Each structure stands twice: as structure tokens, then as C-alpha cells.
Structure 1
Amino acid sequence: MSRLKLPPWLVLLLPAIIILMAVVLVPLVLSFYSSFTAYQLTRPDSLTKWIGTFNYRKAAGDANFWWAFGRTVLLLTIALNLEMLLGLGLAVMVSKVTTGQRLLRTAMMFPMMFSPVLVGFQFKFIFNDNVGLVNNALQSLGLTDVAIPWLVDGHLAMFSIIFAEIWTSTSVFAILILAGLYAIPQDPVEAAKVDGCTPWQSFRFVTLPFLMPFIYIAMAIRSLDVARAYDIVQIMTNGGPARRTELLWTLIGRTAYVDARMGYANAMGYIAILLSIFFTIYFFRKLTAARSELGMGV
């Protein structure tokens, strides 16, 4: 009886394939299956109770789900645009520095090195009503007489979360845009100067088009991060006050682990994944268009 002999390349890849199946494929299949069941953490036997697309239809008609989706899109829109503008400005300024540029590039990366959990605790303290640094600074400067409820008021709480997101992730845009600035060919820039273009015209019509592929890459990466934002929101506000800052994944986490409705939470999670894929496809199409305009192919 001949023994099955695997090709050498498959033997080398087999451990990685087994690990990926164990930690990625099996949980994905199980969670996808459970999204079609009435699975509850408090009732393990409910995993076998098949209810079809009921969870998906329930999520599609759930006002809380769509409010959380709207807040997630709001956070994504504001955070991405501000991070892009601030990162662009920071990258341009750093590129103009002639002494100590390496030190500035290193310092610029510090915020992105912090864990989101640590950033959440940090800004929860900074925006604290009583002992927070922001309120103490405003009161010391005489700009306000009373403590501002940054994390209690619905609008201010969302502003605080957006501020924390921008602080921790602007450096992602800055690093990628700075790499784009170093990669720009100097011939078009010099030609623009010879033709009498102002610095703004050179930046707007020569530099910026070359930077757009790098900007769209950063937006694609950050859109996935913001769309699944959980740590910072959970620690700073826990979705409050009165669910005013509850995003998609904080709602999914609450549904799964507080309400114990794991099947319904998984259904909402797969809808959220589809929405994230939509934003990713959008930014990659913009990236492809920007590369085509520069003659860089697809």
C-alpha cells in the first residue's frame, strides 16, 4: 500500500495552514452559522435552533443598529478628513526641516505606538469633569467658571472620542504622506518653478496629485480601523450617555456579552463587515483612479 506523499511546498506550509484554520477559519464558520440561529450564551443548546435569516431581518429593522451605523459613519467621515489634513500639514512641515528630521519622524510616530486601551484611559482622564486636564486648564485661564461635562454631554462626548481618534492616528497619514513626498520626482516640481508657478500652485497641481495614491492607501487602512472602533469608545464613554456615542462594534459587544444574544450579535457583525468592505472597495477604486491619472497603471 503506497503512502500519500505531499509535495515539499505543502509540507512547509502545512503548520501555517493548520494554525490559520484553527484561529481564523473555524471561528468564522462557527460565527457565521450561529448568526442563523437563536444562540444565546446563557443557553448553549440554542446553538442548534435554526431560525434562518431572522437575525439579519431583525438587524435591518433595528433603529439602534442604524443609529450606531450613522454614528460610525459620522466618526469615520470627520476623523478621516481631519487626520488627512493634519497629517498632510505635518508631513509637509517635517519634509522642510533640514536639521533633526530623523528625530522628528521618530517623535511623530509615538501616538500610533500606544495601545487603544491606554489612549482611552488617557483621554478619559484628560476630559474628566472634576480632575481632567482640559477643565483645569480652561478654569485656570478664566475661560470658564464651571466644569464642562465632556464625557457626559452627548455632543461633547462624541467630540472627545473624535479628538482621541485623531490624536492617536494622524501619524499614520503623516508617515505615509511623508513617504510620498520623498518619492515625488523633482523634474515636474522644477518645471513648475521655471514656468512661474507660485508655491501654492506647485503644491496644488504638481505635488498633491502625486500624493493622492498615498492618501487613499492611508484612508483605506484607517477606514477599517475606525469602522471597527471599540476600545477607545468602550473605555471613555461605554457608549453613553444614553447610547449617544454607541458605535457599531460597541453595540455588537453589548448585544453579545451583556444581553448574551450571540447569534443576533454575529448577524450584526457580518452586516458591519459588509459595510467595511464597501468603504475599502471605494477607497481602492479612488486609489486606482489616482494611479491611472499619474500613468502608474492599475
Structure 2
Amino acid sequence: MQKIRKAVIPAAGYGTRFLPATKATPKEMLPIVDKPTIQYIVEEALASGIEEILVVSGHGKRAIEDHFDSAPALEAELEKKGKLELLHEVQETADINIHYIRQRYMRGLGDAILCAKSFIGDEPFAVLLGDDVVYNPQKPALRQLIDIYDWTGGSVLGCQNVSEEKVSSYGIVAGEKTDNARLMRVLDMVEKPAREDAPSRLAVLGRYIIRPEIFSILATTKPGKGGEIQLTDALKVLAGREPVYAYDFEGERYDVGDKLGFLRATVEFALRRDDLGGAFRDYLKGLVTRI
């Protein structure tokens, strides 16, 4: 069975929910404390054993490429001032093996994945969506999915249960139980269903291991919900042809495509920092008593 070596990060969206901040800055570059959101995603991929990453970008996303590129003038200035720890961080970011391709037209997530076909070839691959940041210091969410793929040999969807009020925001899975309490075989999927039409509360949350057979399905998938080519629709077809699994991964997941979720991530990541956590916790306690 082929090793999962490659990952795709779709990053072509406009980020309209964060306007005007995203008018000239990619939403993927909005910082959680002092690190761009997309860097958390890339670091999760690397910590999971991924060797090559493809970012599917779009118009106005050059800042992503610049961030993961070398910066000779900045590096020289940091070295001159003796800021060696910061210098190491900047150089380490530039050493990551990242490729780029543009999604020329905004035709949905399925079309973005199809753009990666030549990069992936005939290998199974990972997909990480930038709107979902997962905190799990023991085992990254993507690594959990790779382990399930290594065990089952089938495509794996990273899922968690969401509230009834939130089902209309996600692809929702129906399936049958397996011997693993956190694992289901997928029987059906519905993209952003109304609450009364949702087959469960198990939502696909931005992490996937997908077999390469998905590309031939995506090539013939018609536009669906919102007039876009939906990855959910293609995965549903794939599940009718071969085993596809939904895994309830472990970790604290943040929807950073939502303003409240982004604020939660910022606060909680800051509280976990050795250099910020104590002082920031004291500030928050004082703030609560004043407001």
C-alpha cells in the first residue's frame, strides 16, 4: 500500500467573511497570535509525515508564497542584531517543500482538488482545509487519519459531531459502525443540509485522506450546492464504488473561517504559550471583572 506523501491545501477563496481585512491580505495569512493560519496547517502536515505540499491558490494570494520563501534582507538584519531565534524561525519556514498552482476560476472545493491531479498522480493523498485548525499535541489530526488509512486502505474523512444548529454549514455523513468506536463506513453524504434533512450530526471538518480514483469522478461531477463542484458529491460516488470511512478524530478544532472561531483560536493558543499565557490569563481575569 502506498505511503501518504503528498498533501493539498486549497487556498483560493476570497475570504469575504473577514472583509475588509482580507481585501488585500489572504485570509490564510491572518495571524493566530503571531503565526499565519496557513502555517499551523502546514506544520500539522509536516508533523504527520507529509513530504510535499501543494497550495492551490488564486488571485491576490502572493503573500502566501512570499511567506514560505527566503527573505535575505530580513535574515541578514536579524543576524546582524543577534536575533538568532527569530532568524531560525524565518529560515525554517523557507525550508519547507511547497509547490503552488492557481485555481483560475472559483468553481468550488471539488474543482480545487481537481487542479492538483498532475501533482498527485496516482498516489493517495491528504487534503487539509485552512478554515479548520486542530490542536492536539499528542497526535496531529491528519496523522490520526493516515493511521486509519494504513489500517483500512480506504479513503478517510476527518469528522466530529456538531450541534444541530451547525449541520447546515458542513458536509454531513451517514454510515454504519465498525469495530472501532470512532470509525464508520460511509453510506451517504449530504452537503450543507437543512437541519431536518441531516442524516446525522457527524460533520466533515477539513481533513481528508483520498484515493486517486477521486480525480476521474471529479472530472465528470456536475455543479451542485451553490453552483459549485462539490467534493462531497464526488466522495459520495466514490463511497458507492469502494470503502470510504469517516473517522471521529481527537483534538480541539477551531473554525477559523468564522469570526468567533478565529477569536477563540487566538485566545486559547495565546493562553497555551509559555511566554504569554500567564500574563494574558491575568489580563483576561481583570477584563472580565471590569466589563
What TM-score bracket applies, with the shorter chain setting the length? under 0.3
Higher percent of residues as helix: 1
- Larger relative contact order (Cα-Cα within 8 Å, sequence gap ≥ 6): 1
TM norm structure 2: 0.23
